[in-house]
Amino acid sequence: MLEFNLQPETKKKATSGDLYDVVIVGAGPAGMTTAIYTSRDGLKTLILEKESVGGLAATTHLIENYPGFPDGINGMELMERFRKQAERFGTELVEFGEVVKVDPRDAGRFEVHAQGGQVYQGRTVVLATGSRPKKLGIPGEKEYYGRGLSYCATCDGPFFRDKDVIVIGAGNSGLQDGIPMLDYANHVTFLEFLPTSRAERILQDRAREHPKSTLRFNQQVTEIKGDKTVTGVVAIDRETGEEQLFPTDGVFIYVGYSPDSEFVADLVARDKWGYIHSDENMRTKVAGLYAIGDVRADNPAQLSISVGNGTRAALDIREYLLKLEAEG
């Protein structure tokens, strides 16, 4: 019979081959929330994260719309709190453990294969892999990545103190990460493909009103120029057809995200963009396999929604495992 121990456990080291009640793939807000709930319920819980804890939330300079933080909070700090809370209840965590395959075996047992040959056993598996930045696929993008071109202003922005910077994309992500650079960059130019910004009004106002900020709309970026490092961006004005070179010292690209779901493409139902379909309880079409957070279809990329997804999955996992035990 399943026993739910509500007492915190000491931190343990994950071991390949052990059987876990819950294996969570991804340590962003959604996956960490599930872990907090399941480990607090006494379920043996493992998180496998291919990079470091926090996902895209950890790369956000200031999160202002998450309840409970009236002055906002740095994304990395918030996700470190998530981590400590999960580990306090016994969650085991493997960082830089990229999952390459999820293999359903018997009822109530999955094999989760990590890069390097490790195989973890789970009675349930939660896909919380999130999404990754899209690329433009234009000349110069690949060549100058890491040489003045980045997809994370929070990570690399400080290297451009007193420099001119271009942010490609003026949606929520572009403005949210680009605006903090105005505190130390010489100037930040936002180039947006659409005729208007779809970002939250408060972000648009901050960008428009800042003396070191310029917003240019209807701009189709066609090339990244450089000489050892980035020197400029070529864009065509979609309204006039005029081509212009924007000189710059750095480029940050924010043109949307792609779900990290290829490794389960043959296992789950996905939409045409690769996002995974799961129901209101976060279940996929495979019993015991869940999809939550930014990798989930028709799911707005919001921190609070990812947390809700993680909670919903954890509650259903509890009932699912109790049912398996009863049928056992």
- The pLDDT score that the predictor gives to residue 276 is 98
Where is average pLDDT lowest: 12-16, 65-69, 164-168? 12-16
For the cut 60, the answer to whether the pLDDT of residue 4 exceeds it is no
Which long-range contacts does 194-197 make (Cβ < 8 Å, 24+ apart)? 194/218, 195/239, 197/170, 197/171
- Higher model confidence: residue 109 or residue 16? 109
- The pLDDT score that the predictor gives to residue 17 is 66
CA distance 218 to 18: 54
Reported confidence tier of residue 13, pLDDT bands at 50, 70, 90: low
CA distance 244 to 317: 55
- Higher model confidence: residue 126 or residue 61? 126
- The pLDDT score that the predictor gives to residue 2 is 47
CA distance 129 to 267: 15
Rounded percentage of the chain residues whose pLDDT exceeds 70: 95
The first and second tokens of residue 122, run together, are 């789970």
- Higher model confidence: residue 3 or residue 47? 47
Give backbone dihedrals phi and psi of 272, rounded to 5 degrees, phi first: -65, -15
- The pLDDT score that the predictor gives to residue 300 is 87
- The pLDDT score that the predictor gives to residue 176 is 92
- The pLDDT score that the predictor gives to residue 327 is 85
Give backbone dihedrals phi and psi of 156, rounded to 5 degrees, phi first: -110, -10
- Higher model confidence: residue 9 or residue 269? 269
When pLDDT is averaged across residues 224-242 and rounded to a whole number, the result is 97
User: Minimal CA–CA distance to 19: which of 149, 124, 151, 140?
Assistant: 124
- Higher model confidence: residue 107 or residue 27? 27
- The pLDDT score that the predictor gives to residue 9 is 44
- The pLDDT score that the predictor gives to residue 61 is 81
Reported confidence tier of residue 15, pLDDT bands at 50, 70, 90: low
Encode pLDDT of 172-220 as tens digits.
Answer: 999 999 999 999 999 999 999 999 999 999 999 999 999 999 999 999 9
For the cut 50, the answer to whether the pLDDT of residue 168 exceeds it is yes
Q: Is 230 exposed, middle or buried (0-12, 13-18, 19+ CB in 10 A)?
A: buried
Residue 254's identity, in one-letter code, is Y
For the cut 60, the answer to whether the pLDDT of residue 148 exceeds it is yes
- The pLDDT score that the predictor gives to residue 265 is 96
- Taking all residues of the chain, what is their mean pLDDT, rounded to a whole number? 93
For the cut 90, the answer to whether the pLDDT of residue 108 exceeds it is no
User: Minimal CA–CA distance to 304: which of 25, 64, 58, 66?
Assistant: 66
CA distance 163 to 185: 5
- The pLDDT score that the predictor gives to residue 3 is 44
Reported confidence tier of residue 92, pLDDT bands at 50, 70, 90: very high
Judge whether 216 and 174 are in contact, CB under 8 Å.
Answer: no
Strands across the sheet containing 243-247: 219-227, 229-237, 243-247
For the cut 80, the answer to whether the pLDDT of residue 5 exceeds it is no
For the cut 70, the answer to whether the pLDDT of residue 302 exceeds it is yes
- The pLDDT score that the predictor gives to residue 8 is 44
- Backbone angle region of 116, left / alpha / beta, with phi > 0 → left and psi within -120 to 50 → alpha: left
What stretches of 50-129 show up as alpha helix (H) in DSSP? 75-88
Reported confidence tier of residue 274, pLDDT bands at 50, 70, 90: very high
Judge whether 140 and 253 are in contact, CB under 8 Å.
Answer: no
Q: Which domains does the chain have, with CATH numbers?
A: 19-133+257-327 (3.50.50.60), 149-253 (3.50.50.60)
Encode pLDDT of 113-123 as tens digits.
Answer: 999 999 999 99
Q: Is the pTM of this model over 0.85?
A: no
